[in-house]
Homo-oligomer: A and B are copies of this chain.
Amino acid sequence: MAAGNTGEQARQEQFERGMKVLDEINPAVGGTVLTALADISPELGHQVVAWGFGEIYSRPELAPRDRQLVTLGMLTALGGCEPQLEVHVNTALNVGLTPTEIVEALLHSAGYCGFPRALNATFVAKKVFAERGLLPVAGQ
Protein backbone atom coordinates (compact mmCIF):
# COMPACT_ATOMS: atom_id res chain seq x y z
CA MET A 1 0.00 0.00 0.00
CA ALA A 2 1.29 3.42 -0.87
CA ALA A 3 2.07 5.07 2.43
CA GLY A 4 -0.27 7.90 3.30
CA ASN A 5 1.18 11.23 4.19
CA THR A 6 0.46 11.19 7.84
CA GLY A 7 3.23 9.63 9.87
CA GLU A 8 2.69 5.91 10.05
CA GLN A 9 1.98 5.75 13.77
CA ALA A 10 -0.49 8.65 13.72
CA ARG A 11 -2.07 7.17 10.65
CA GLN A 12 -2.55 3.85 12.41
CA GLU A 13 -3.97 5.48 15.53
CA GLN A 14 -6.42 7.50 13.49
CA PHE A 15 -7.51 4.36 11.68
CA GLU A 16 -7.98 2.47 14.94
CA ARG A 17 -10.03 5.31 16.35
CA GLY A 18 -12.22 5.15 13.24
CA MET A 19 -12.69 1.41 13.56
CA LYS A 20 -13.61 1.87 17.21
CA VAL A 21 -16.27 4.41 16.25
CA LEU A 22 -17.60 2.10 13.56
CA ASP A 23 -17.67 -0.83 15.96
CA GLU A 24 -19.90 1.23 18.23
CA ILE A 25 -22.31 2.53 15.62
CA ASN A 26 -22.30 -0.13 12.90
CA PRO A 27 -20.00 -3.09 13.62
CA ALA A 28 -20.55 -4.81 10.28
CA VAL A 29 -19.68 -2.01 7.94
CA GLY A 30 -16.02 -1.19 8.52
CA GLY A 31 -14.73 -4.61 7.64
CA THR A 32 -17.08 -4.93 4.70
CA VAL A 33 -15.93 -1.70 3.10
CA LEU A 34 -12.27 -2.45 3.70
CA THR A 35 -12.60 -5.91 2.20
CA ALA A 36 -14.47 -4.66 -0.84
CA LEU A 37 -11.81 -2.05 -1.48
CA ALA A 38 -8.77 -4.19 -0.59
CA ASP A 39 -7.66 -5.02 -4.11
CA ILE A 40 -8.67 -1.79 -5.81
CA SER A 41 -8.26 1.16 -3.43
CA PRO A 42 -7.25 0.25 0.11
CA GLU A 43 -6.32 3.90 0.59
CA LEU A 44 -9.94 4.95 0.02
CA GLY A 45 -11.00 2.36 2.57
CA HIS A 46 -8.40 3.69 4.97
CA GLN A 47 -9.56 7.27 4.54
CA VAL A 48 -13.26 6.44 4.97
CA VAL A 49 -12.43 4.83 8.29
CA ALA A 50 -9.56 6.98 9.51
CA TRP A 51 -10.69 10.40 8.35
CA GLY A 52 -14.46 9.99 8.02
CA PHE A 53 -14.90 8.24 11.34
CA GLY A 54 -11.64 8.57 13.26
CA GLU A 55 -11.18 12.26 12.58
CA ILE A 56 -14.64 13.75 11.93
CA TYR A 57 -17.40 11.48 13.22
CA SER A 58 -15.68 10.97 16.57
CA ARG A 59 -15.71 14.67 17.39
CA PRO A 60 -17.96 15.34 20.39
CA GLU A 61 -19.51 18.52 18.97
CA LEU A 62 -22.43 16.62 17.46
CA ALA A 63 -24.02 13.42 18.76
CA PRO A 64 -24.10 10.33 16.51
CA ARG A 65 -27.90 10.46 16.43
CA ASP A 66 -27.74 14.03 15.13
CA ARG A 67 -25.04 13.19 12.60
CA GLN A 68 -27.28 10.48 11.20
CA LEU A 69 -30.14 12.93 10.71
CA VAL A 70 -27.84 15.17 8.70
CA THR A 71 -26.53 12.18 6.77
CA LEU A 72 -30.01 10.86 5.96
CA GLY A 73 -30.84 14.29 4.58
CA MET A 74 -27.67 14.47 2.49
CA LEU A 75 -27.87 10.97 1.02
CA THR A 76 -31.54 11.42 0.18
CA ALA A 77 -30.82 14.73 -1.53
CA LEU A 78 -27.81 13.46 -3.46
CA GLY A 79 -29.64 10.55 -5.03
CA GLY A 80 -27.93 7.49 -6.44
CA CYS A 81 -26.41 6.67 -3.05
CA GLU A 82 -28.68 3.77 -2.19
CA PRO A 83 -25.85 1.51 -0.95
CA GLN A 84 -24.63 4.20 1.44
CA LEU A 85 -28.16 5.03 2.50
CA GLU A 86 -28.71 1.39 3.41
CA VAL A 87 -25.64 1.51 5.65
CA HIS A 88 -26.74 4.75 7.23
CA VAL A 89 -30.33 3.70 7.89
CA ASN A 90 -28.86 0.79 9.79
CA THR A 91 -26.51 3.11 11.65
CA ALA A 92 -29.36 5.50 12.38
CA LEU A 93 -31.26 2.70 14.09
CA ASN A 94 -28.15 1.66 15.99
CA VAL A 95 -27.55 5.11 17.45
CA GLY A 96 -31.06 5.67 18.67
CA LEU A 97 -33.26 7.01 15.92
CA THR A 98 -36.58 5.18 15.91
CA PRO A 99 -38.12 3.76 12.75
CA THR A 100 -40.84 6.39 13.06
CA GLU A 101 -38.31 9.21 13.20
CA ILE A 102 -36.42 7.87 10.19
CA VAL A 103 -39.59 7.49 8.17
CA GLU A 104 -40.66 10.98 9.15
CA ALA A 105 -37.28 12.44 8.19
CA LEU A 106 -37.75 10.96 4.73
CA LEU A 107 -41.32 12.27 4.48
CA HIS A 108 -39.93 15.65 5.52
CA SER A 109 -37.36 15.42 2.74
CA ALA A 110 -40.08 15.43 0.08
CA GLY A 111 -40.59 19.16 0.49
CA TYR A 112 -36.92 19.89 -0.06
CA CYS A 113 -35.82 17.26 -2.60
CA GLY A 114 -39.15 16.24 -4.12
CA PHE A 115 -41.09 12.99 -3.99
CA PRO A 116 -38.83 10.86 -6.23
CA ARG A 117 -35.82 11.19 -3.91
CA ALA A 118 -38.07 10.74 -0.85
CA LEU A 119 -39.58 7.59 -2.34
CA ASN A 120 -36.23 6.07 -3.29
CA ALA A 121 -34.89 6.67 0.21
CA THR A 122 -38.02 5.31 1.85
CA PHE A 123 -37.76 2.08 -0.11
CA VAL A 124 -34.17 1.70 1.10
CA ALA A 125 -35.43 2.15 4.65
CA LYS A 126 -38.12 -0.45 3.99
CA LYS A 127 -35.45 -2.96 2.95
CA VAL A 128 -33.44 -2.34 6.12
CA PHE A 129 -36.47 -2.39 8.40
CA ALA A 130 -37.64 -5.65 6.82
CA GLU A 131 -34.25 -7.26 7.45
CA ARG A 132 -34.42 -6.17 11.08
CA GLY A 133 -38.03 -7.22 11.62
CA LEU A 134 -39.23 -3.65 12.12
CA LEU A 135 -42.18 -3.72 9.74
CA PRO A 136 -44.83 -2.51 9.89
CA VAL A 137 -43.59 0.73 11.42
CA ALA A 138 -45.62 1.38 14.55
CA GLY A 139 -47.85 4.44 14.56
CA GLN A 140 -47.76 4.86 10.81
Contact = CB atoms under 8 A, between A and B. Distances in A.
A106 interface: yes
Contact of A100 (B37, B42, B61, B112): B61
Given A104-B59, A137-B41, A111 B52 contact: yes
Interface of A: 1-2, 4-7, 9-11, 13-14, 17, 33, 36-44, 47-48, 51-52, 54-62, 66-67, 69-81, 83-84, 100-101, 103-120, 122-123, 125-126, 129, 135-137, 139-140
A118 B84 CA distance: 11
Interface of A is mostly: helix
A47 B107 contact: yes
B1 A44 contact: no
Contact of A113 (B42, B59, B78, B105): B78
20 contacts: A2-B61, A5-B55, A36-B123, A38-B136, A39-B140, A41-B107, A42-B140, A43-B107, A56-B108, A57-B108, A61-B103, A66-B105, A69-B69, A70-B72, A73-B73, A73-B77, A110-B114, A111-B115, A113-B113, A114-B117
